[in-house]
Amino acid sequence: MALILNIETATTVCSVSLGKDGKLLAIKEQNGGYSHSENLTLFIEDVLQQTGNKISEIDAIAVSKGPGSYTGLRIGVSTAKGLCYALGKPLLAINTLLSITQSIVQNSKFKVESADLFCPMLDARRMEVYCAIYDLQGNEMRATAAEIIDENSFSDILKTKKIVFFGDGSAKCKETFSKNSNAVFINDVVPSARGMLVLSEQAYNSQQFEDVAYFEPFYLKDFVAGKKKGEV
């Protein structure tokens, strides 16, 4: 029964949870833009205060490894690595898309019993998304990739399987797949450290520890710096 601190910063959501045996003890999160550098350590302190635990009592630290925002992932991973190094605790890395899928499957308010497959999508600008496909047990049926969405996307699978699409990138597909009854959409689903609880517990029990010195986030695409306002 491990006490695990979970950190999710792959998108505009800054989320921290504390779990034990895969169960939620405390959570603090906010979806307010990329303010992770200001909020993350405060959120960590908050969840520890909620439970009365000391940071030294944590058995491991799990971080959402991506894909997602370059800056968001960098902040989350660097914070997690710093804590692991200082405390001498193991580092766990959780796939962001699988974590979002877990939050859907485990939440009873989402009626997904008739679904065949799940496709989490994160916005990657324009008509491109970061996505993967999982079955009900969380097995990866289609590897994580950056895909440009058009009318032919997933057409081979949608002929015979019902796919549930969700995440902030799924809005790009809604109109494209509107005539296909096998395409189901769930709105307002964002990454959360709540979805990491079971996955981080499983990773800890199977000792899937990362090398704190050399671990890097799963950026999927190379970082491209944007221009500041006024630059040409």
The string of pLDDT tens digits covering residues 153-182 is 999 999 999 999 999 999 888 888 888 999
Residue 33 has pLDDT above 80, yes or no: no
Tokens found for residue 41: 């350590």
In this structure, what token pair is assigned to residue 210? 């990362």
Instruction: Please state, in angstroms and rounded to a whole number, the distance separating the CA atoms of residues 112 and 232.
Output: 48
What mean pLDDT is predicted for residues 28-43?
90
Domain membership of residue 172 (yes or no) is yes
User: Would the pLDDT of 47 be above 80?
Assistant: yes
Are residue 69 and residue 8 in the same domain, yes or no?
A: yes
Q: What is the pLDDT of residue 179?
A: 86
Both 20 and 91 in a single domain? Answer: yes
Contacts 24+ apart (CB under 8 A), 149-156: 149/173, 149/176, 150/176, 151/176, 154/119, 154/183
What number is the average pLDDT over the span 4-18?
Answer: 96
* 62 plus 29 within the same structural domain: yes
**How many of the other CB atoms lie within 10 Å of CB of 159?**
9
pTM of this prediction?
A: 0.92
Distance CA 139, CA 211 (A): 25
164, 141: one domain: yes
Per the domain annotation, does 225 fall within a domain? no
Same domain as 199, residue 181? no
Cα 52 from Cα 100, distance rounded (Å)? 28
What residue numbers bound the domain in which 53 lies?
A: 3-95+191-205
H or E element at residue 45: helix 36-51
Q: What is the pLDDT of residue 230?
A: 47
**Residue at 104 is within a domain:** no
Residue 216 lies in a domain: no
> Are 61 and 173 contained in the same domain?
no
Could you tell me if residue 70 is inside a domain?
A: yes
- Do both 41 and 66 map to the same domain? yes
Q: Judge if 79 and 147 occupy the same domain.
A: no
At 39, which CATH number?
Answer: 3.30.420.40
Q: Over the stretch 189-203, which tens digit does the pLDDT of each residue have? A: 999 999 999 999 999
* CATH number of the CATH domain containing 179: 3.30.420
What is residue 108's predicted lDDT score, i.e. its pLDDT? 61
**What percentage of residues in the chain have a pLDDT greater than 90?**
75
Residue 71 in any domain: the answer is yes
How many domains does the structure of the chain reveal? Answer: 2
Identify whether residues 64 and 140 lie together within a single domain. no
221 within domain boundaries? no
Asked whether residue 230 is assigned to any structural domain, the reply reads: no
Q: Which residues are CB-neighbours of 42 under 8 A, at least 6 positions away?
A: none
Its sign, for the CA torsion 46, 61, 85, 53, is positive
